[in-house]
A and B are shown apart, each in its own frame.
Chain A
Amino acid sequence: MTLIKRAVACLTLLLLVSGGAVFAQQPAAPEQQGEFLPIDQLPPQDQLPAAPLLITAYAVVFVGFFGYVLSVARRLGTVQREIERLEADIKRTRKA
């Protein structure tokens, strides 16, 4: 056997051994991965409850509306009071 033939044989043997080791390390695919499970068939502990999300969504909208109405009313009230105070000041200045 020539040197080149020996080298090729060693390399092939090395590849076979190392390849076998690599495949041996691959974990077996879990059975669940090969199946599709509809979300409503999940066990109860894995299901996300819809009610808290729904209630939060409606609460956010109502709180947002209420907060905005309050905010505009408060700002309008402040400006209104300032206008009344200034108008009274102007009247007093003109009388004096």
Chain B
Amino acid sequence: MPKWFTPAAILCGLMFAVSPLLIANAPYESTMGLVQKIFYFHLPSAMTFLISGVICGIASLRFLFGGDPRHDRTAWAAAELTVLFGLLTLITGPLWARKAWGVWWQWDVRLTSSLMGWMVSVAYLLVRKYGGPGSDKLAAGLALFGMANVPFVYISVNYWRTIHPATSVVPTLPASMGLPLWWCLAAFLLFFTLMLRLRARLEEQRARLDDLYLSLDE
């Protein structure tokens, strides 16, 4: 593993340890009250979910046109993390919505497109697991659709009528709410970077294992 991995892992642990204190000290939002504090983990989950989908798509594109297996490994790792962060977004969101909107789920464009993006990532993993020979390129094609969905998810709240808050909310947050949000987002992105490296390492080791089996057969 690279030298930066262990210090970064310690830093990430510390950031997550401090985050509940920052969130607890953040002021209550006037209309939603306590439940709004889900926001400090929901938005970083959602942002990481979208960033992960883009990384998966770019790595897949480079694999499709360059053929370098390192990019394929990165795409696979990013797809797994897209599923993880997407799942966290799709669980924390309804928990917040139940109190704020009175319903667990609403088939509006932001929620539906997020669910679609998550399902594309699940499809990527299923293709990799059960697709057989050639599944790497087929899955890479799927990842491109997943990446194409990301801007649609992001801008959907600004163009369609929806009960989900628009993207203009975050830049207008007061510093007392902005600090815990950006802190949590940094912690989430650091965790994502660490996991991406660790998961790609797993694929590297699997490739090495395959090479060893081949050399044993020879």
Interface size class of B (residues with CB under 8 A): 20 to 34
- Nearest A residue to B38 via CB reads A57
Q: How far is the CA of A2 from the CA of B213 in the complex (A)?
A: 106
Cβ contact of A60, chosen from B20, B88, B195, cutoff 8 A:
B88
Q: Please indicate the chain A residues that have their CB under 8 angstroms from the CB of B208 in the complex.
A: 83
Check A76–B42 contact: CB distance below 8 A: no
Q: How far is the CA of A48 from the CA of B99 in the complex (A)?
A: 7
Q: How far is the CA of A61 from the CA of B88 in the complex (A)?
A: 6
- Chain A interface main SS type: helix
Is the CB of A51 closer than 8 A to any CB of chain B? yes
A-contacting residues, B159-218, CB 8 Å: 191, 195, 198-199, 201-202, 205-206, 208-209, 212-213, 215-216
Among listed B57-65, B89-97, B119-127, interface-contacting one: B89-97
Taking A61-B88, A65-B16, A87-B212 as known contacts, 12 extra A-B pairs with beta carbons closer than 8 A to each other, sorted by chain A number, are A40-B33, A50-B33, A50-B34, A53-B38, A57-B42, A72-B199, A76-B198, A76-B202, A79-B202, A79-B205, A86-B212, A86-B216
Q: In the complex, how many residues of chain A place their beta carbon closer than 8 angstroms to a beta carbon of chain B?
A: 29
Check B91–A60 contact: CB distance below 8 A: yes
- Nearest A residue to B84 via CB reads A68
